[in-house]
């Protein structure tokens, strides 16, 4: 059941990097809603490969809607399925990975878990490419949230520890030239979420957003508001005091990241995720050949991003959007 997310706005991501298609089946969008299909495509284009700092794999990543809308273009209350055809699948690039797992990649546990069923071409179902259908679900959720006056944005906080924008991109160039890769930190903010969204213990906004965000393969940590730093603070420092701003209740700081007791407080919802450096690097690394039970080395050829963080922005926004939209539907 791992490829599904959500309780009401519930979707299942399917596909492998080199299967005929990748896509998503979404239940729970109310009937009668107009969705801007071009906005979905534009949103997806933000995570598409082809940019200066990303893999040279070129794919249109053209979204095709198969079901869920009537002839007037309104949602009909039945599941939406949207797919993206895999058109540029140079399977031969990956065949040497059959027995030698790439460090930092899903290869080794996938080999053990799936045995002969494993699809190792392009990372199979573990490919970062699967975040594209997640972004389809995300874009639809974002459009629905926008109708409610909720806006979600994200930005890169740092790359490889650099926080200056020029330094960030210089670093990406540098590691690219070195055949290496580098990680980054992304911050995502939702404004306009009404007070009280989010359900009990395991259904709070933090739980949901975290569950969604770790669906992005490279994410290794998530923190809300003050986050990990809250562990170093005093209550008198970390508590965000309330005050009346006209007839609105606000807090002076936002160490709580807009979430109290799992519920939205009316303040901006803020989280940061760590995006680990792309594990596929050209630099030679030690690994093992499982067909022989021997140590070996490999250097990963093919088309890989030196830093995945820029392309991950719409994915992170999608994680926020699907989690909040689902929670709103559940709270109604």
* Residues from 18 through 37 that contact its own copies (CB under 8 A): 18-23, 25, 27-28, 30-33
Check residue 53 for interaction with its own copies (CB under 8 A): no
CB of 227 to its own copies, least distance (A): 4
3-state secondary structure of 174: helix
Nearer to its own copies, 266 or 314 (CB): 266
Alpha-carbon dihedral 204, 1, 272, 59, rounded to 10 degrees:
-140
CB of 33 to its own copies, least distance (A): 7
CB of 152 to its own copies, least distance (A): 19
Check residue 149 for interaction with its own copies (CB under 8 A): no
Check residue 151 for interaction with its own copies (CB under 8 A): no
Nearer to its own copies, 147 or 332 (CB): 332
Check residue 38 for interaction with its own copies (CB under 8 A): no
User: Cβ–Cβ contacts within 10 Å for residue 284, how many?
Assistant: 11
CB of 50 to its own copies, least distance (A): 21
Check residue 58 for interaction with its own copies (CB under 8 A): no
Question: How far is it, in rounded angstroms, from Cα 277 to Cα 309?
Answer: 9
Do the Cβ atoms of 128 and 308 come closer than 8 Å? yes
Q: Which stretch binds its own copies (CB under 8 A): 39-47, 55-63, 123-131, 141-149?
A: 123-131
Residue pointed to by tokens 């699967």: 130
E strand segments, 10-51? 10-15, 21-27
Nearer to its own copies, 142 or 287 (CB): 287
Check residue 242 for interaction with its own copies (CB under 8 A): yes
Q: Which residues contact 47 (CB under 8 A, 6 or more apart)?
A: 131, 132, 135, 311, 312, 313, 314, 315
Check residue 130 for interaction with its own copies (CB under 8 A): yes
Q: Measured between alpha carbons, how far is residue 77 from residues 28, 32, 34, 332 in Å?
A: 7, 8, 12, 17
3-state secondary structure of 125: helix
Contact residue for its own copies among 56, 148, 170, 243 (CB under 8 A): 243
3-state secondary structure of 277: coil
Check residue 68 for interaction with its own copies (CB under 8 A): yes
Contact residue for its own copies among 54, 55, 61, 160 (CB under 8 A): 160
Assigned token pair, 136 = 């389809």
User: Cβ–Cβ contacts within 10 Å for residue 178, how many?
Assistant: 13
3-state secondary structure of 299: coil
CB of 134 to its own copies, least distance (A): 7
Check residue 116 for interaction with its own copies (CB under 8 A): yes
Vertex 10, ends 61 and 32: CA angle to 5°? 80
Check residue 147 for interaction with its own copies (CB under 8 A): no
Contact residue for its own copies among 143, 168, 172, 240 (CB under 8 A): 240
Contact residue for its own copies among 142, 175, 188, 190 (CB under 8 A): 175
Vertex 59, ends 58 and 63: CA angle to 5°? 160
Check residue 239 for interaction with its own copies (CB under 8 A): yes
Check residue 199 for interaction with its own copies (CB under 8 A): yes
Q: Contacts with its own copies in 257-296 (CB under 8 A)? A: 257, 260-266, 272, 274-281, 283, 285-288, 290, 293-295
Nearer to its own copies, 96 or 114 (CB): 114
Q: Measured between alpha carbons, how far is residue 66 from residues 81, 130, 139, 249, 303 in Å?
A: 5, 18, 16, 45, 30
CB of 43 to its own copies, least distance (A): 18
Interface with its own copies: number of residues (CB under 8 A): 159
């Amino acid at each position: 059941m791992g490829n599904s997310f959500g309780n009401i706005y519930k979707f299942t991501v399917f596909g492998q990097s080199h299967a005929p298609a990748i896509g998503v089946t979404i239940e729970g969008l109310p009937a009668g809603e107009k969705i801007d299909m071009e906005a979905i495509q534009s949103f997806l284009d933000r995570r598409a490969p082809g940019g200066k700092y990303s893999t040279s794999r070129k794919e249109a990543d053209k979204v095709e809607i198969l079901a869920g809308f009537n002839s007037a273009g309104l949602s009909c209350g039945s599941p939406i399925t949207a797919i993206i055809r895999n058109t540029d699948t140079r399977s031969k690039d990956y065949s040497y990975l059959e027995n030698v797992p790439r460090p930092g990649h899903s290869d080794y546990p996938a080999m053990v878990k799936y045995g002969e069923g494993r699809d190792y071409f392009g990372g199979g179902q573990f490919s970062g490419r699967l975040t594209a259908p997640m972004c389809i679900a995300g874009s639809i959720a974002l459009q629905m949230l926008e109708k409610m006056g909720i806006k979600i944005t994200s930005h890169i906080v740092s790359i490889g520890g650099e926080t200056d924008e020029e330094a960030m991109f210089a670093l990406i160039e540098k590691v690219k030239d070195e055949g290496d890769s580098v990680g980054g930190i992304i911050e995502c903010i939702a404004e306009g979420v009404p007070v009280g969204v989010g359900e009990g213990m395991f259904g709070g906004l933090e739980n949901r957003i975290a569950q969604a965000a770790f669906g992005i393969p490279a994410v290794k940590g998530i923190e809300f508001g003050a986050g990990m730093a809250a562990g170093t603070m005093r209550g008198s420092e970390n508590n965000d005091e309330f005050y009346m701003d006209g007839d609105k209740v606000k807090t002076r700081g936002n160490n709580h990241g807009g979430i109290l007791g799992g519920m939205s407080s009316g303040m901006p919802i803020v989280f940061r995720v760590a995006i680990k450096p792309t594990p596929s690097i050209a630099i030679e690394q030690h690994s093992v050949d499982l067909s022989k039970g021997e140590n070996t080395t490999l250097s990963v050829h093919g088309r890989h991003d030196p830093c995945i963080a820029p392309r991950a922005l719409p994915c992170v926004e999608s994680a926020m959007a699907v989690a909040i939209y689902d929670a709103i539907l559940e709270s109604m």
